[in-house]
Amino acid sequence: MRYQPSLTPLVLAVGLSLAACSDLLVENPKGFTTTDTFFKTGADLNSGTLAIYSAARGFQGQSNWTTPELASDQTRADNREPNAGTYGPDRLSWSAASGRATVPFGTHYAVITEANLVLAKGPGIQTSDTLTKAYNLAEAKFLRGYAYLRLTKMYDGVPLLLTPEEQANPSPTRATVEAVHQAVIKDLIEAKAGLPAVWSGDDGYGNPTQGRVTKGAAEMALADLYLWRSSFMGKNEWQLASDWADSVIASGLWSLNDDYIKTFLPSNKGNSEEILVITNSGVVDRTSNIFQLFYYPRDWGLDAGQGGGWGLIHPTNWFLNSYLPGDYRGSRGFEGYKTDSAYVAGGCGLTICADTLGDGPMPYKYRKSDNGATWWLGDVDVPLYRHAEALLIYAEAQNELGNTGVAVQYLNMIRARARKGTGAQARTEPHDYGTAGEAMDKLSVRDAIFMERAWEFAFEAKRWFDLVRRDSEEPGYWKNSLIAHDPSFDQTPPNPKPLPDEYKKRWPIPQAQIDANPALCQNPGYGGTPCPPGVTVP
Amino acid sequence: MRFLIPFAGLLVAATAPVRSQQAAAASPLDRTVTLSLEGVPLKDALDAVARQSGVRIAYSGRVVPLNRPVSVELAAVRVEAALDALLHGTGVASTLDGTGQILLVTDRSVGRARQQTGSIAGTVRDSTTGAPVVDAMVTLVGTALTAKTGADGRFTITGVPAGSYRIRVRMLGYTAALVGVTVQDGEQAVADVQLARSAIELNPVVAIGYGAADRRNLTGAVSSVSAEQFETKAAPTVTLSSGLQGKVAGVQVTSNSGMPGVGIQVRVRGTGSITANTEPLYVIDGLPAEQGSNDTDPKNNPLMSVDPNEIESIDILKDASATAIYGARGANGVVLITTKRGRTGTSQFTVESSVGFQNIAKTIPVLNAPQFMQLSNEAYLNAGGAPASVPFSAAQIGSAVTYNYPAMMLRTGLQTNQAVSLSGGDQKLRYLISGNFTRQQGIEIGSDFNRYSVRLNLDGDASSRFRWGSSLSMTRVARNAARVENGSLGNSANGIQAAMQFAPFQAPKDSAGNWIKTSPSTEPVPNPIANALEETDLNTTSRLLGSVFGELALSPSLKLKGTLGGNFQFDGIHYFAPRTILDGGNSGSGWMYTSQGRNLTSENTITYARPLGPGNLDLLGGFSVQTWYDESVTATAAGFPTDFTNVYNLGSGSQLYPPASGVSEHALISYLGRANYNVADKYLFTLTGRRDGSSVFGANHKWGFFPSGAFAWRVGDEQFMRGQSLFSDLKLRLSYGTVGNQAVNPYQSLSQLSVGWVASGATEIPAMTLSSRMPNPDLHWEQKTEFNAGLDGAVLDNRVAFSLDIYRSKTKDLLLLMNVPVTTGYSQQLQNVGSIQNNGVELSLTTTNISRPDLNWRSTLTLSHNGNKVLDLGTRPDTSGKPVPITQFTVTPRTGNFFDAGDVYLVRVGEPLGAIYGYQVTGLWQKGDTGAACYLTNKADCTPGEYKVADLNGDGKITAADRTILGNSQPKFYGGFSNTVTYGRFSLDALFNFVYGNKVINAGNAYGCLDIMQANERTCVLDHWDSTHTNTMVPRPNRDRARALYSTFVEDGSYLRLQTLTLGYDLPPGLLFGGAVAARVYVTGQNLVTITGYSGFDPDVNSQGGDPRYGLIDIGAYPRSRVWNFGVRATF
């Protein structure tokens, strides 16, 4: 070519720029890390462990929380609530394709995924802080086991995936309930062995530890598991339920607060009654939560066009009227946000007053520290296991084992605390069970324990599971309770409501998940492929 | 015969064919040749003369400077004259030897001849108006001497050797003129020229990406819009892309609403993607500045920051052959924007100023207070409410006062445009400096649009071998949009929709003068008047776009060009809600967002041209690197001691939210090449290829190659066409090629960990959590393969010119977000699956209806049809793990929870995108009707006056499974019809737009005519069913009616609109003021008449913007205004 001399520098320039450019195509993100670059140090492992807790914050989300709440006979949706997505759980109007009952499936696998990642990466991490590393692995086991336990309580058997490699399988099938429970037991027992009874103030990496799981939480989860297996599955493992509850009680680390309400107050975080909680800081919206808005009166919130409540979850009339007169846990205040009662029935919000709330009294045990002045300051910790439940599981197990007297003794501990009212009161109700001529037979005491659970754990998303598991012991209990107590199933003429569908005791595997993985079978009543024996509880 | 050497990147003008002149010539020197050459080597020119005339030309390379570039424009001149022109200034003369061969020898007479020269001067005027023609190119035929006319139309050519010449004057839009003139030594000859407006400009130069080409030589499908269509006629066109509407065949422009500076969708040849970007690539002055974005945010539209007055031309590359030079970014079409540049000649100063006002084009009445209260009571009772507790008592209804919220929301908006430009220069340096300022008040209070920009374009010839240039513009756009644009309904409604929902009996302020924050209706709509007046929502975009290039001609046929460019964008949002309105809470809340992005480009090309075999070959090769970097930060706070400080003291808030920041980077490395082979100017071949490497894709698929080929046959130039007189021009084009769509966000192929949060007590702790997106190391481009056939021609002596294209494209490996089982730990993965097809026909027709000296009428019609079809959506496994095709999925709009079910769009194999999915209403239940399937609230029996919904699956219940496709938002055809009439000094331009056969969800009616009375509704509900008025489709009032998408709310969006009408007047010389050489006054009306059956504000609406899966939806969008604009433009 004639122009070769002139072309040489050009060729050189292009060549040089090429050499400099080829790295441009490799992505080096600055704003986040990747699984390949993370999990190198003990601090990374601890951060990955906290990510499991972060995923578990989903347990307080609207679908996970309000589905069992509203579906039970204890609560109903606000009559002014216009959205089907919100009142749907109250009417059990969910299907595999829509509704809130499908959502928890994914929430729990998010927890399991983070836990599996920690358990896969953790053992290979070299760190001088072997104590925290051991705790982290135990925390991951607890949270994984607890998530699987919760899944079985909603869906029965689910895919049992215990490593990232197993999770990579795009078409896992549902394991039997028994297989999942054995994995849960293994996780929880190992977690109990590895977890501290009490955390020191610092996790070794400068973070406070309130809200981290403990040995007591693992024991509670085991008690809960055996309670479920014994009642819902008819396994008669009451002794194990009793033993694990007793180990919580006997540890001496946990106790009842004098003031029932104080257990839930943000000013009393980390109190000795809270064995397992989801902690909400209230600092900003990323670790505060809308949870409280479900319960804050709509009259002073949404309907007033200002911060405060959605007023979603009301007590049913049956439940509101079920308290023994004078029970602090059923007290109704008319002083608005200044009330010191467990329910608020009127009075003044921050700027708006309403003598009576438009759709009846609202629960008032979850109180933000700003009393509803803003909608964003969500700093109430959400209780998952409380010491009171250890006592009542123990009471129930003892009753089923035939030790009715012991059962009543533990039941009355709960009542005795309630009589203390705001702390130093000496109320007459609820009186000790048995002192007013109540029957002391097993069935009556069982009834009393279940009612006590309803009062004590009101609005703690436990009642639905109590209805479901007792239905196995006393067929029809679930349906009859809903019909008798919940206006959604009111049979009063002239417009009787449709009866609850029996199959809805079990929630549906989300249709979207079956679409993505047709190897998943479906629970009875929701269509789809039936499951092999053992996957669902007959 | 005619001979022509095209050269990529340089203009090669065309001349009319001259035929059959050769035979009778006696001497070889008397034979005639036609040459149209610019900047070609002398040797090539001599070869051309020899070939055309059939004479042999002998010369020595030592005597004749064979590489000297020459430019001549010769039409049928004698060989001798042609040689004189080519050899002018070389000191070489031609002489005929005894054998009939021409010898080129050193001219002994040169010394004498060059002793003295003369000059030519004159004025070029419009033959009709007599106005000076500015920037006309004046060429002394047979020489390299040229000049351009100045602002007064005058030109001067100096240094002309004595002799007789012809001067040729050319100007776009005029027929070229040839005038004879004789120059005496040392004297100035006068040559005044009148230019007649040409019938149709058939052969303008078009930008094709990395070069330009004569339209006659194009092989691909390229549409162009010239400067004059963006100048005074379209002065109210605040944003450029809406100015494209109806002007280009195959380009569909849809705006979100009528808000100033609103987001616009530009779709070239339909929608080729389902979830990836479908907007074209914008190339401004050769710089691939920005990919348009499906995001509704108008700041992502690069056209928003270009003033229409700065545009020289817009060329839109449509088929795969044309866009393949942009490879991975070509699939959605490429919009090439060329801005005006300085030209040689006297400097020219232009001033333009206009002022206008705008009003709402159409209003929709709403209920007054007593009507609202009465119907609310009925709705309450019909829903089973107790008569004793109806919402409004008779006394309240009797004493109710009506407040007209929609009227309070609206105003007459003023708009002003000011622009100045100065341009000129000489061969060494040419310049254009311009500045403009646009201000537009919206017709809704609280909304406006402001833009100011400056531009400096420079070009220079440093030597005969090296030329350089730069383009630099700075623009700032500021929009105020305090909750005036509506994207939602019910509680979240904004702007005019909120005004139409607000309880009409409620005054906007209480007796103490405080704003009422929400409507006292079941749906507590926020007060739109308070929001618009009190809220701050200022969106700003500043853009600095600049490039420099240098071009070195190593030889006349081999050139190197290097371009460096940068596109710097700075965006800001100031949002503040004071305590006086709902959003402000009890003590105000606000946030400030700022982002900066830079996009750096280095492009290097080499071009080479040479004759090869029977034709000429042009080669282009290039290498390009482009990098992008964006970062942003947001600060949010609430609870301020005072509203006075707005967002300017966020630290004073008692609620401080965590700051947010982010960064994103990506890069594109490309090699590109193009070969054009032109045989006898009749057979044109183009091969184009580009290899792109992009950082955003998976490690396994970083590189892609995008080839295309095209062929064009200039049928009209064939011998056999000479006998006919119908076609004055005819060309057939065929092309086939593959281009890509790379529009995905960076980092999609990585296993991302992001920060999740946990709390301990009141302490927040960050934790690294997995993202919900499953990484995909195989992620790669969408690949579009397109076949195009086109026919360009002119008939009736160029009075009718047409361009017809048909195309068929298929895009495969669509970027789709697929669900994966949550048991994997992820919920979705971006995958390459599925395919989609677009078939279309485009017609562009330009006619000269009247062409008389005093009266001229021209029309252009564009008509486009695009048929879109989803072919494949991938597979999912069945129970045995075998893949089964996915046939459809539904889509929920961005603000989707209004409808129950919320997923109102459907993507289905075999259907076009944009399918609207809902319940078919067959009528209303009447008394005596029976049936189980009543309406969606599942009441046990049928209630007269309720919607009768078709039970399509026949299961006796109305469920979500009974939904069906209610229509599609893709039009059957669309286009525009523009007319220009000039009569003496008057000119009239009228542009009509039309769209036919598309469906729009009138969601404003789905709220406002649903008769649920949870907030105020439109007067259509007065026509509701009752026992005495049963012949209606408006159901009875019922507060409990499900808010589903019923077929009654899906309307035909067809329309025909008189988009702009401009009347202009060129002032006669006697009226010119202040030394102006030309001045024009005009009045423009915009959106004057719309013929449509659509019952909303305007059928050109897309409240939810860009996402191709969405159908068109009108959620009470910002209404379109009718604009009147008055302006003057003067040149000095």
Least Cα distance to B342 among B457, B228, B203 occurs for B457
Per the listing, tokens 């051991």 go with A134
**What local confidence, expressed as pLDDT, does residue B809 receive?**
95
Residue A482: CB atoms within 10 Å: 21
Task: Report CB contact under 8 Å: B770, A51.
Answer: yes
**What local confidence, expressed as pLDDT, does residue B9 receive?**
31
In angstroms, the separation between the Cα of residue B980 and the nearest Cα of chain A is 50
* B623 lies within 8 A of chain A by CB: yes
- In chain B, whose CA is at the least distance from the CA of A302? B524
Q: End-to-end CA distance of chain A, in Å?
A: 87
For A8, phi and psi rounded to 5 degrees? -55, -50
**What local confidence, expressed as pLDDT, does residue A303 receive?**
66
Residue B944 to residue B967: CA distance in whole angstroms: 27
Among B661, B755, B770, whose Cβ lies nearest the Cβ of A113?
B770
* B758 lies within 8 A of chain A by CB: yes
All residues of chain A having their beta carbon less than 8 Å from the beta carbon of residue B522 are 82
User: What six digits make up the tokens of B234?
Assistant: 């379209």
- In chain B, whose CA is at the least distance from the CA of A57? B758
Residue B329, helix vs strand vs coil: helix
Task: Report CB contact under 8 Å: B877, A170.
Answer: yes
All residues of chain B having their beta carbon less than 8 Å from the beta carbon of residue A212 are 760
Among A84, A280, A515, whose Cβ lies nearest the Cβ of B876?
A515
- A130-155 and A215-231 helices, crossing angle to 10°: 20
Residue B1075: CB atoms within 10 Å: 10
Residue A328 to residue A365: CA distance in whole angstroms: 11
Sequence-ordered list of residues with C-beta below 8 angstroms from that of B1012, at least 6 positions apart, any chain: B379, B1037, B1038, B1039, B1040, B1041, B1043
All residues of chain B having their beta carbon less than 8 Å from the beta carbon of residue A47 are 766-768
- In chain A, whose CA is at the least distance from the CA of B820? A516
Can you say how many angstroms the Cα of residue A428 is from the centroid of all Cα atoms in its chain? 33
Kindly give the pairing relationship between strand B102-106 and strand B57-58.
Answer: parallel
Name residue B670's amino acid: S
Among B664, B666, B877, whose Cβ lies nearest the Cβ of A171?
B877
All residues of chain B having their beta carbon less than 8 Å from the beta carbon of residue A32 are 747, 752-755
Mutate to test the interface with B, among A44, A81, A116, A287 (most CBs of B within 10 A): A287
Task: Report CB contact under 8 Å: B768, A44.
Answer: yes
Least Cα distance to B646 among B594, B586, B575, B581 occurs for B575
**What local confidence, expressed as pLDDT, does residue A51 receive?**
94
**What local confidence, expressed as pLDDT, does residue B237 receive?**
57
Peptide bond into A179 cis (omega under 30): no
Task: Report CB contact under 8 Å: A172, B821.
Answer: yes
DSSP letters for B162-221: SEEEEEEEE-TTB--EEEEEEE-TT-EEE--EEEPBPS-----EEE-SSSEEEGGG--S-
Q: A-contacting residues of B 837-896, CB under 8 Å?
A: 876-879, 881
Least Cα distance to A117 among A183, A185, A35, A175 occurs for A35
Residue A434 to residue A444: CA distance in whole angstroms: 10
Per the listing, tokens 């319940």 go with B919
**What local confidence, expressed as pLDDT, does residue B267 receive?**
87
The ranges of chain A with pLDDT < 70 are: 1-22, 82, 284-285, 302-308, 350-351, 372-376
**What local confidence, expressed as pLDDT, does residue A104 receive?**
95
All residues of chain A having their beta carbon less than 8 Å from the beta carbon of residue B664 are 31
Percent of chain A with pLDDT over 90: 67
Q: Is A177 left (phi over 0), alpha (psi -120 to 50) or beta?
A: alpha
Residue B460's alpha-carbon distances to B469, B521, B550, in angstroms, are 6, 68, 10
Q: Is B147 left (phi over 0), alpha (psi -120 to 50) or beta?
A: beta
Instruction: Establish how many alpha carbons lie within 13 A of residue B1057's alpha carbon, considering only the half-sphere containing its beta carbon.
Output: 27
Sequence-ordered list of residues with C-beta below 8 angstroms from that of B393, at least 6 positions apart, any chain: none
In angstroms, the separation between the Cα of residue B621 and the nearest Cα of chain A is 12
**What local confidence, expressed as pLDDT, does residue B115 receive?**
46
User: What six digits make up the tokens of B191?
Assistant: 């040559």
All residues of chain A having their beta carbon less than 8 Å from the beta carbon of residue B770 are 35, 51, 113-114, 117
Task: Report CB contact under 8 Å: A83, B897.
Answer: yes
Among A34, A50, A110, whose Cβ lies nearest the Cβ of B765?
A50
- In chain B, whose CA is at the least distance from the CA of A279? B759
Peptide bond into A430 cis (omega under 30): yes
Kindly give the pairing relationship between strand A274-278 and strand A382-386.
Answer: antiparallel
- Per-residue pLDDT tens digits for A408-463: 999 999 999 999 998 888 999 999 999 999 999 999 999 999 999 999 999 999 99
All residues of chain A having their beta carbon less than 8 Å from the beta carbon of residue B518 are 305
**What local confidence, expressed as pLDDT, does residue B1120 receive?**
87
- A387-400 and A215-231 helices, crossing angle to 10°: 40
* B751 lies within 8 A of chain A by CB: yes
All residues of chain A having their beta carbon less than 8 Å from the beta carbon of residue B877 are 170-171, 517-519
**What local confidence, expressed as pLDDT, does residue B808 receive?**
96
All residues of chain B having their beta carbon less than 8 Å from the beta carbon of residue A167 are 823-825
For A382, phi and psi rounded to 5 degrees? -95, 120
**What local confidence, expressed as pLDDT, does residue B933 receive?**
44
Residue B946 to residue B925: CA distance in whole angstroms: 6
Residue A247, helix vs strand vs coil: helix
Residue B842, helix vs strand vs coil: strand
Mutate to test the interface with B, among A40, A47, A274, A359 (most CBs of B within 10 A): A47
Give the DSSP H/E element, type plus range, for residue B1073.
none
Q: A-contacting residues of B 590-619, CB under 8 Å?
A: 602, 604, 606
- Per-residue pLDDT tens digits for A315-360: 999 999 999 988 999 998 887 777 778 998 888 776 677 778 888 8
Residue B1101's alpha-carbon distances to A25, A382, A396, B969, B1001, in angstroms, are 39, 46, 64, 11, 10
Least Cα distance to B97 among B50, B52, B56 occurs for B56
Task: Report CB contact under 8 Å: A212, B760.
Answer: yes
User: What six digits make up the tokens of B336?
Assistant: 């090439």
Whether residue A104 contacts residue A64, with contact meaning beta carbons closer than 8 Å, is answered with yes
Sequence-ordered list of residues with C-beta below 8 angstroms from that of B578, at least 6 positions apart, any chain: B534, B535, B584, B588, B643
Mutate to test the interface with B, among A1, A16, A34, A210 (most CBs of B within 10 A): A34
Report yes or no for ipTM above 0.95. no
Least Cα distance to B620 among B554, B548, B680, B676 occurs for B676
- In chain A, whose CA is at the least distance from the CA of B557? A3
Name residue B650's amino acid: L
Residue B550 to residue B561: CA distance in whole angstroms: 6
Q: What is the pTM of this model?
A: 0.79
Residue A249's alpha-carbon distances to A189, A217, B890, in angstroms, are 17, 12, 53
Ranges of H-type helices in A252-360: 317-320
Task: Report CB contact under 8 Å: A84, B555.
Answer: no
The ranges of chain B with pLDDT < 50 are: 1-25, 109-115, 234-235, 932-933, 935-941
User: What six digits make up the tokens of B32?
Assistant: 């005639």
**What local confidence, expressed as pLDDT, does residue B674 receive?**
95
* Length of chain A as a residue count: 538
